[in-house]
Amino acid sequence: MQSYKKVTAPFAGVITARNVNTGVLISAGNGNTSTSNTSNSSLYTIAAYDNLKVNVSVPQSLSQSLQTGQTAQITVRELPQRVFTGKVVRTSNAIDPTTRTLLTQLEVRNSELQQVIESEYQASLLNEKSITQNRQDWGEAPGVCFFRGRIAELSQMKQWLIEDNCRLVAILGMGGIGKTALSVKLAKEVQENFEYLIWRSLRNAPPVAEMLANLIGFLSDERETDLPESIDGRVTLMINYLREHRCLLVFDNTETILQEGDRAGHYRQEYEDYGQLLQRVGEELHQSCLVLTSREKPKEFAPLEGEVSPVRTLSLVGLEQTEGQEILQDKGLFGSQPEWGKLVEKYSGNPLALKLVSQPIRELFGGDIAAFLAEGEIIFGDTRNLLDQQFERLSEIEKEIIYWLAIKRELVSLDELLNDIVRPLPKREVMEALESLRRRSLIEQRTALFTLQSVVMEYMTDRLIEQVCHEITTRDLRLFMSHALMEATAKDYIRNTQITLIIKPIVDRLLNIFSISKNI
């Protein structure tokens, strides 16, 4: 019997298993302990982690070129940007008859990989800690798991918020164009640059006093309980927090606090104080940003915005064909590239309109885009409801102008519209109405010429036909008397289009209503 002895391992490594305890008697020869009837073949298990063994199944066609000592490049799925170098140490020297591959073992120095993994782990811990420390309240923000396109817009918005330190930013566009999705994606990508993040929907039109109380409560960690009674006092208190901390506030669906049936950008009764909030956030110095989404531009933006101003606006247009096709890739639709292009163009690249129409295309036409387009009817169901909501917000003069743009069907000037409008209107009012329609993202402007977006043109043509037929059948002639459905002085191709798309559908519908033409 001998006392304690020092055991030296044959290589450096890490003990991964110990089969004996300190002080236990070790029997000579086979490593048996005196306290156990079991036979242990080893005292310790040691793992060397300096080198990693990687087994690879090499296709038979490449196996003959393999040689021991040959170098190989290895990538790891979790670290797609890194490439590690290893070498071939041995092969099975036999092709697997089932997979027709040669089992090959590579050896990779683990030190570099271990450093990368540790570095990535520490970075993830810091990132997690940073996000945890930042106070966030996403409110009713929707999840955005499938985001396509808008790369340029997203990049521009990130520059405005992070590099240019903008204080007030508006994302504008017609319903369904993707404003909410972009605001959520933007907030997700810039969240680490802000101490506080608050996302609020104005869909239910909360009073401004209630909204300010909610924001101040969150920014003060609920310490501010005795709030000023006046709106001005509450705005002042909130801006103090925007100065003290770097905060990102997002207001979605801002159009719900704006007045319907009036020029774009004016507020509903009892919501005018939101204008004071926006104006002061845009004018006063602080280190935070308020981003809002809206179908219309609030009137406070016009005097404040500019290319180098801390107040900016981004007007969203429709998606391109490739992006529009991508958002419908799981909807079961099929067609040629020109047919896809025509479908996206018909709906002005509006993501929501494209998603809404994908269901009837799939269910009524078996997913065949060409068959759907051949029917010629593209505005119906939920798509029509979406545009109805936008139309009902218009003032009377805006409705009058938008009907004329549907009839004229091409770019027109302000003077042409003034000549067409039957009732005498000051030029100033028509200019204001055109600017209001532009703020609502319903018309397109090129220099001093105006026209409708494609999907709005289709919608207004359908609405014009329905309204004229209704007026004729009820003998209440208003639109019919104020708008010439076909212009004698128009260009031949425009006049032919007016006959085909407006006059003929009206006549066909009236014939169907009255059964025989002599009753018309």
Segment 407-437, tens digit of pLDDT = 988 888 988 888 888 788 888 888 988 888 8
Whether the pLDDT of residue 488 is over 80: the answer is no
Residues β-bridged to residue 172:
294, 315
Provide, for the chain, the percentages of residues in helix, strand and coil under a 3-state DSSP scheme, each rounded to the nearest 5. 45, 20, 35
Q: Does pLDDT of 520 surpass 60?
A: no
Structure tokens at 479: 């639109």
What's the pLDDT score for residue 42?
73
pLDDT at 12: 74
Q: How far apart are CA 106 and CA 91, in angstroms?
A: 9
The answer to pTM > 0.85 is: no
Confidence of residue 235 (pLDDT cuts 50, 70, 90): very high
Cα dist. 385→231, 258, 375, 392 in Å?
36, 19, 20, 11
**pLDDT of 519:** 52
Other CB atoms within a 10 A radius of the CB of residue 427 amount to 11
- % pLDDT > 90, the chain: 31
* Beta strands across the sheet bearing 311-315: 135-137, 196-201, 247-252, 289-294, 168-172, 311-315
Q: What pLDDT does residue 111 have?
A: 66
- Closest by alpha carbon to 358, among 334, 338, 376, 385? 334
pLDDT at residue 340 in the model: 92
pLDDT band at 132 (very low <50, low <70, confident <90, very high): very low
Distances (CA, A) of 86 to 51, 62, 114: 9, 18, 14
> For the residues 210-223, what does the mean pLDDT come to?
92
The residue with tokens 């073949």 is 41
Highest mean pLDDT among 68-72, 290-294, 493-497: 290-294
Q: How confident is the model at residue 251 (pLDDT cuts 50, 70, 90)?
A: very high
* Rounded to 5°, angle at Cα 96 from 94 and 100: 110
Helix axes 208-219, 231-244, angle to 10 degrees: 30
Query: Given a cut of 80, is residue 18 above it in pLDDT?
Result: no
Convert 479-505 into a string of H (helix), E (strand) and C (coil). Answer: HHHHCCCCCCCCCHHHHHHHHHHHHHH
Do 167 and 290 form a contact (C-beta atoms < 8 A)?
yes
User: What pLDDT does residue 169 have?
Assistant: 96
Give yes or no for residue 36 having a pLDDT over 50.
Answer: no
Model confidence pLDDT, tens digit, residues 467-480: 999 999 888 888 88
Distance separating alpha carbons of residues 171 and 185, to the nearest angstrom: 13
Q: Give the pLDDT mean for 284-307.
A: 92
d(CA 302, CA 304): 6
Task: Provide the residue count of the chain.
Answer: 520
**Residue 281: band (very low, low, confident or very high) from pLDDT cuts 50, 70, 90:** very high
User: Directed axis angle between helix 337-346 and helix 454-474, to 10°?
Assistant: 60
Going by pLDDT thresholds of 50, 70 and 90, the confidence category of residue 384 is confident
Q: What is the model's pLDDT at position 171?
A: 95
pLDDT at 194 over 90: yes
Burial grade of 272 (CB within 10 A; 0-12, 13-18, 19 or more) = middle
Nearest-CA neighbor of 349 among 372, 369, 324, 331?
324
pLDDT in tens, 160-176: 999 999 999 999 988 88
Which residues are within 8 A (CB) of 174 and not within 5 positions of it... i.e. 6 or more apart? 295, 350, 390, 440, 441, 442, 453, 456
Q: Which of 24-28, 91-95, 201-205, 341-345 has the lowest mean pLDDT?
A: 24-28
Average pLDDT, the chain: 84
Q: pLDDT-based confidence at 79, cuts 50/70/90?
A: low
Give the closest residue to 285 by CA, choosing from 313, 244, 248.
244
Share of the chain above pLDDT 70, in %: 88
Mean of the pLDDT values across residues 106-115?
Answer: 72
pLDDT at res. 229:
92
- What local confidence, expressed as pLDDT, does residue 170 receive? 95
pLDDT confidence tier of residue 37, bands split at 50, 70 and 90:
very low
Q: 265, exposed or middle or buried, with CB in 10 Å at 0-12, 13-18, 19+?
A: buried
Cβ atoms < 10 Å from Cβ of 201: 18
d(CA 250, CA 169): 9
Buried b / exposed e along 23-39 (16+ C-beta atoms within 10 A): eeebeeeeeebeeeeee
440 close to 448: Cβ distance less than 8 angstroms = no
Higher pLDDT, 399 or 119: 399
CB 147 within 8 A of CB 183: no
For residue 122, the model assigns a pLDDT of: 63
Q: Which residues make Cβ contacts (< 8 Å) with residue 253, sequence separation at least 6? A: 180, 201, 202, 203, 293, 294
Task: Of 48-62, 89-103, 357-371, 493-507, give the lowest mean pLDDT range.
Answer: 48-62
Give the model's pLDDT for residue 93: 86
More confident residue, 452 or 242: 242
